[in-house]
Amino acid sequence: MSVFIIAELGINHNGDLSLAKELIDVANEAGCNAVKFQKRDIDLVYTKDYLESLRDSPWGTTQREQKNGLEFGFEQYLEIDDYCKKKEIDWFASAWDLKSQKFLRKFNCKFNKIASAMIVYEDLLEEVAKEGNHTFISTGMSTYKDIDLAVNIFRKNNCSFELMHTVSTYPMKVEDANLNLIKSLQNNYKSNVGYSGHEQNLELSFAAVALGITSLERHLTLDRKMYGSDQSASLEPNEIKDLVKGVRNIEKSLGDGCKKIINEEIIIANKLRQHIPCLVKKSI
């Protein structure tokens, strides 16, 4: 089975629809299977005091102005939906509140995503699971008890899902990756497991592919120097292309695990073993 590659656009579009389309183009040209956004109702996700606190940004001097500046509304998502259909690439989003999840239903996306921060939000898990769409569940900042809760809810609702091994630091240090947890999650939950990476390299993603992941999510940016909290943990256009190419080559290289001699080896074997008795040659 081919690894499903997701370009996490998140909020790296900085509230600019033209920038979002550029990112979609990059992901599509690289060969990604889907792009993903994030959707929040800021008055539900953040407290009034927090939103009124100071924060300098391109949109103003408060947290509210910054958060509002990053959010797309219905018209923008309608345009994103139309653009992705024209480009023949899937899109979906991770909702951070119940209102946002209901908002996303208007677009009939094939997939859902539970962000690591939301894996403990039982009401949201129920709301997503009852939709029945295949769901990617990130497991950063969580315990086995938290994961058990999510898995039980999705299985109770007969909603297909896969867990995604995640370490929720931005960017993530290599020594914190704990990629062997991929196998632990596969064994513990008897489910498919993906990897959502926040590192600044490709090697760990390639290693995760070799460990048998079924999905791979990486943040995408046009330039890591751009404004935004996720930019530093994102891949740039040339890197996402190298990522997809590398993943597809790894898939080809893994094979079926059965020992055999390929035709090209027979010619080389006969040449290199010509000094050995004929009986050995015939065993090839």
Check which CATH number belongs to the domain holding 94 and give it.
3.20.20.70
What is the domain range of residue 243? 4-258
pLDDT at site 277? 75
Whether the per-residue pLDDT at 279 is higher than 90: the answer is no
pLDDT digits 0-9 by tens, 149-191: 999 999 999 999 999 999 999 999 999 999 999 999 999 999 9
Which amino acid would we find at residue 249?
A: N
Return mean pLDDT, the chain: 96
Q: What is the number of structural domains in the chain?
A: 1
- Averaged pLDDT, 121-144: 98
Residue 278 has pLDDT above 70, yes or no: no
CA–CA distance from 37 to each of 8, 74, 107, 172, 249 (Å)? Answer: 6, 13, 13, 20, 27
Q: What percent of the chain has pLDDT over 90?
A: 95
Give me the pLDDT at residue 284, please: 53
The 3-state DSSP class for residue 91 equals strand
In a domain, 102, yes or no: yes
The alpha carbon torsion through 253, 259, 263, 266 (nearest 10 deg) reads 130
| Predicted confidence band of residue 20 (pLDDT cuts 50, 70, 90) | very high
Q: Is residue 270 in a domain? A: no
* Domain-located, residue 279: no
Q: What are the two backbone dihedrals, phi and then psi, of residue 282, each rounded to the nearest 5 degrees?
A: -70, -20
Tell me the average pLDDT across 264-274. 91
Rounded-to-integer distance, Cα 35 and Cα 90, Å: 6
Separation CA 211–CA 88 (nearest Å):
29
Q: How confident is residue 275, by pLDDT bands cut at 50, 70 and 90?
A: confident
Q: Is the pLDDT of residue 280 over 60?
A: no
Q: What is the pLDDT of residues 22-70, one digit of tens each?
A: 999 999 999 999 999 999 999 999 999 999 999 999 999 999 999 999 9
Length of the chain: 284
- The answer on pLDDT for 283 being more than 60 is no
Task: Kindly state whether residue 266 falls inside one of the protein's structural domains.
Answer: no
Domain annotation covers residue 269: no
Q: Say which residues have a Cβ less than 8 Å from residue 60's Cβ, sequence separation at least 6.
A: 66, 69
175 in any annotated domain: yes
Q: What is the pLDDT of residue 282?
A: 54
pLDDT at 281: 52
283 inside domain: no
Residue 264 domain flag: no
d(CA 222, CA 172): 19
For the chain, what percent of residues have pLDDT higher than 70?
98
